[in-house]
Structure 1
Amino acid sequence: MADLPLLLLHAFPVDARMWNAVREPLAARVRLITPDQRGLGRTPLPETDRAPSLDDAARDVLALLDKLELDRVVLGGCSMGGYLTMAVLRLAPERVGGLVLIDTRASADTPEAAENRERMAVRAETEGDLGWLAEGMLPNLLAERTRTERPDVVETVRDLIESQRPAGVAWAARAVGARRDSSDLLATADIPALVVVGEQDVLTTPDDARRMADLLPKGELAVLPGVGHLTPLEAPAALTEAILGWL
């Protein structure tokens, strides 16, 4: 598995720059690919009449693999990137040689959570400026200690959120809200899998991570102490060590 490239998918509502702190140490040991997802970062939002769906975003990932002439990769992601990873696994399991699921969960949104995402999408489209989104999400994205003692990380996350295009944020919010439950999918994924979670993650909790690790036939769990939902930004060294040790 260590000879396979590692493709990591970013969280919502940021872009692939969230991997910057882990990029160099990972790339020193494995071929690393970190694309921006549709509508976020440098990737445009395609013109389409189709309802937002992670299945379409998954097809983007498969098209990238085809373009790079890669038959199989170790596929992983953080939060929304984890949901997208599971969508790719559902569509093309033969392309996935291993899983890295970071601060994510297998379950679908509750109706209430999906409604909240729809309100978020509408506000993004209506207001344009995303300062309100950063302000509202930061308390849940980062551990309290990070927010009080590491202003550089707070500002990095704020800048990542505020630099996104509102239309891309709206599309992603609706796609995530419409995602399917992936519990049965993970239970049949007989490939090496690493599940990583921040000890203080309040969005996708350590209990969510344990359930995924228990579902996966070859699942391993790593809990990173003292950090929240965005472990690649809050604990890059610990995350790098977990991934490389597992690989």
Structure 2
Amino acid sequence: MWFTWRMAVIELSAGTIDYEDTGGDGPAVLLLHGLLMDGSLWDAVVPELAGFRCVVPTLPLGAHRRPLPGADLSLPAVARLVTDLVERLDLRDVTLVGNDTGGAVAQLIAADPARAERFSRLMLVSCEAFDNLPPGLTGRTLAVTGKLPPAAFKAFMQQMRLKPMRRLPLAFGWLTKRGDATTARWIRPVLDVPGIAVDTVRVLRAAFADRDLLVRAAAGLPGFDRPAAVVWAAGDRVMPPDHGRRLADLLPQGHLVEVPDSYTLIPLDQPALLAKVVRELAA
């Protein structure tokens, strides 16, 4: 399926970030990734969304390539950065889609009426919710290693160059069944780009400092009275499937879609199926 990417850079209040944009006049879909990931999480989904304007930022969550020294890198700050991006691009009637920690950021936006103004639809895809912060064994490992000094954290991440290490449950092994080639790319900025290891340690410390953040966000989700879908991996070992049902029940127009043969990173494991659900929600 033919489509074009426009790779761009934008200066926001928190700093400079990269994003990709298919452009056009179709309905806008904003796709958010998680911790230690970048926009390439969505590379197999976007070609299936021809006719939509897909905007995919690389957020400062640990696999970004432009350090943001001094910026607030907490999850609420990342949510503000996302709404800043949407305003700068003058996007309206946006379908907001978030997977993994991107789904946590999406919840923070949807739960705040002031931030959610430009978003008309919401999709949460196997993500942190309620008290699952840090999420599972993977998240607990990141929480512990994030307490290390940046140089020591970088030394720990050196092990992730090896596929057997990446496939461990404490790394990406319980996050994706089929996406190892993509996860291998995500660790490179921490190892190769000056300043990113420092940013990543700050991100991890801030992300897990407030364990009740998403409990409070959940309390605000009933106020998002617009079309919503919760898409969850039926065999998820990091994000409890029961959380998907609870999120769908909280959203007044929410419904649950369970995805077979996938772990948390459904955009890597089941991109065509996920794209179909996005099309149905955003059309």
Regarding TM over 0.5, the answer is yes
Q: Aligned equivalents of 1:12 and 1:231: distance in 2? A: 15
Q: Among residues 60, 67, 75, which one is paired with 1:38 in the alignment?
A: 60
Is the contact between residue 39 and residue 171 of structure 1 (CA under 8 Å) also seen in structure 2?
Answer: no
Check if 1:159 corresponds to 2:185: yes
Structure 2 gaps, min length 5? 1-24, 161-165, 191-195
Amino acid at match of 1:38: P
Check if 1:64 corresponds to 2:85: yes
Which structure carries more strand by proportion? Answer: 2
**Structure 2 residue matching 1:200: 3-state secondary structure:** coil
Is the contact between residue 117 and residue 174 of structure 1 (CA under 8 Å) also seen in structure 2?
Answer: no
Is the contact between residue 132 and residue 239 of structure 2 (CA under 8 Å) also seen in structure 1?
Answer: no
Q: Among residues 182, 189, 193, which one is paired with 2:228 in the alignment?
A: 193
Q: Aligned equivalents of 1:74 and 1:54: distance in 2? A: 20
Check if 1:240 corresponds to 2:275: yes
What is the total number of aligned residue pairs between the two structures?
236
Partner in structure 2 of residue 172 of structure 1: 203
Partner in structure 1 of residue 245 of structure 2: 210
**Structure 1 residue matching 2:256: 3-state secondary structure:** strand
Task: Report the Cα offset of residue 46 of structure 1.
Answer: 2.3
Which structure carries more helix by proportion? Answer: 1
1:11-22 matches, within 5 Å, as 11-22=34-45
Q: Percent identity?
A: 26
Q: TM-score, normalised by structure 1?
A: 0.84
Q: Describe the superposition over 1:94-139 as per-residue Cα deviations: whole angstroms up to 9, x where unpaired.
A: 1221101001143144689787544221347233142446453122
Check if 1:227 corresponds to 2:262: yes
Q: Describe the superposition over 1:201-244 as per-residue Cα deviations: whole angstroms up to 9, x where unpaired.
A: 11112211111011110001111101111110011111111211
Q: Aligned equivalents of 1:115 and 1:235: distance in 2? A: 26
Is the contact between residue 7 and residue 74 of structure 1 (CA under 8 Å) also seen in structure 2?
Answer: yes
Q: 1:54 to 1:158 in 2, by over 3 A?
A: same
Task: Report the Cα offset of residue 9 of structure 1.
Answer: 0.5
Q: Which has the higher contact order (CA 8 A, sep 6+)?
A: 1
Q: Among residues 106, 111, 119, which one is paired with 1:85 in the alignment?
A: 106
Task: Report the Cα offset of residue 64 of structure 1.
Answer: 0.9
Q: Aligned equivalents of 2:204 and 2:117: distance in 1? A: 28
Structure 1 gaps, min length 5? none
**Structure 1 residue matching 2:59: 3-state secondary structure:** coil
Amino acid at match of 2:40: R
